[in-house]
A = this chain, B = another copy of it.
Amino acid sequence: MAMSSLNRDLFYDQTFNSIFDTDQRIEALLAFEKELAIAQSAIGLIPKSAAQAIENSCQSGFIDIERLTVESALGGNVLIALLKQCTELLQKEESGSYHYIHFGATSQDAIDTAAMIQYKKAAYWINDKLKQLILQLAERAEAHQHTPMIGRTFLQQAKPITFGLKIAGWIDGLIPVYQSMDSLRFPVQLGGAVGNWTGLDAQAYETISASVAQNLQLDQPLKPWHSQRQSIIQIATTLGMLHAHLSKLTTDLILMAQTEIGEISFDDPGKGGSSSMPHKNNPVNGILVLANGIRVPHLVATILECAATDHERALGSWHAEWEVMEDLFKLTAGSMRLVEEMMAHLVVHPDRMLANIKWTNGLVFADVVENAMAMKLGKINAHDLVEKACIESRSTGVSLQTLLAGRPEINTNFTLQDLENWFNVENNLGLSHHFTGLVLKRVKDVFGG
């Protein structure tokens, strides 16, 4: 319900949110009623004049919204109250046509179909943004294919990777979600009071159903789905998966933006700064993505719970869906906008990435060095040697490379160039470049270009 409007530009995207505006919802409900009437008139079930009257008279601009809101409480949903106003409008215009609005349909037919009209718009909006994000990330990944940074596991420095690889990982998570979003189905609902549509033969029903679906650009389901919410939970879980990946990439960025890490920052004048604390650069957009990300899994769970309906129309779990789906869409769309802004203002600091790799005075290369030395010295000798040097390095702050360079076993068996090679970051990136390339190729395969 109406959150304080003050949060509008924090968690959300204003343009996206308008898809769910009250007038858009009424438009979508009336679109269902109009298309139903048109399809029914096309096969002679209702007069063409009635369909025409419904199209002309039942316009969202004519609806008294305050009255609609108040009267919604009587029927437990908006539809009965809306039909009441439509009927009055039709009675003004043309005698008789009011009999033919919502003919044979039930409230849930209109409400579910209208929701699908809105959900489809919303999903397309998000997926368009997602495509742009993936393409933008791909550019960044390509640009940073050779930018070394430290890989971290459990927030401890582990071994070097590239920033390109990190970004490629994000993309790798997002592509299947893009494909899932892209293959979502948005079925029309057309079942009548108990989902078995009465008063028509099968052929007439199928003709009407196909026509309504086509004209609303929705999918035609196998049968009415009042109590089978597969399409809804499919949408909800897909949004949940999307946000998980958005939260993941945001978490990485914010950890990299820590004052003491400083590997990235956001060049976003006027945002996140503090006049009194000049060192402050709060990652505002990212913070808000994480905030949204906390809420989303719980909303997905709510929708999954709602799907365990009872009989032919669910006792509350249908109603709970409405706002939760809307929240789910709005928070995800808001996060898409926030991530987009984050990426637009992202400044990468390769120097700090490199400096952080060197933070441990070479200890992050210890295993590589040990393995290299083992070839000539044997595994056990190599291990002893490295272990001792590591301990010395930690207590003295002298780099591991320098310490090893001073050991006779090393000088006897290896050259200083060997040492130089082992401790060269470039030689310690494994298949970072290869994996990044695979992901970039996949982006091209999926999106062309």
Contacts and interface: CB of A to CB of B under 8 A. Distances in A.
A390 interface: yes
Nearest to A108: B153
A444 interface: no
Interface in A182-202: 192-200, 202
Contacts of A77: 10
Contact of A155 (B153, B229, B310, B435): B310
Interface stretch (A35-43, A49-57, A121-129, A292-300): A292-300
B193 A277 contact: yes
A1 B6 contact: no
Contacts of A297: 300-302, 304-305
Nearest to A289: B316
Nearest to A305: B297
A131 to B, nearest CB: 17
A417 B26 CA distance: 44
Interface stretch (A211-219, A268-276, A402-410): A268-276
A359 interface: yes
B281 A156 contact: yes
Interface majority SS on A: helix, strand, loop or mixed? helix
A370 B293 CA distance: 38
A320 interface: yes
B151 A311 contact: yes
Nearest to A296: B304
Chain A interface extent, by class: 35 or more
A94 interface: no
Query: This chain: how many copies in the complex?
Result: 4
Nearest to A432: B196
* Of listed A8, A196, A198, A323, residue having the most chain B CB within 10 A: A196
Interface in A204-249: 205, 222-225, 227-230, 233-234, 237, 240-241, 244-245, 247-248
Contacts of A233: 240-241, 244
B168 A223 contact: yes
A58 to B, nearest CB: 16
Given A1-B327, A326-B3, A434-B205, A76 B10 contact: yes
Given A10-B319, A279-B360, A294-B305, A169 B227 contact: yes
Interface stretch (A132-140, A157-165, A342-350, A418-426): A157-165
Contact of A173 (B230, B237, B270, B359): B230
Nearest to A118: B4
A291 interface: yes
Nearest to A99: B379
A387 B223 contact: no
Interface string A6-46: 11111110000100111001100000000000000000000
* Of listed A255, A297, A359, A367, residue having the most chain B CB within 10 A: A297
Given A301-B300, A309-B248, A311-B153, A70 B9 contact: yes
A376 interface: no
A309 B251 contact: yes
A381 interface: no
B304 A317 contact: no
A151 B106 CA distance: 13
Nearest to A26: B6
Contacts of A158: 193-194, 277, 280, 312-313
Contacts of A272: 74-76
10 tightest Cβ-Cβ pairs between the two chains A and B: A151-B194, A290-B316, A153-B313, A198-B430, A247-B308, A301-B301, A244-B307, A279-B363, A196-B430, A76-B284
27 contacts: A5-B65, A10-B76, A10-B77, A76-B287, A156-B279, A161-B195, A168-B223, A172-B225, A172-B228, A173-B225, A176-B234, A194-B430, A196-B435, A202-B431, A222-B438, A222-B439, A223-B435, A237-B237, A251-B310, A255-B310, A260-B359, A277-B363, A277-B364, A279-B394, A291-B318, A294-B320, A298-B299
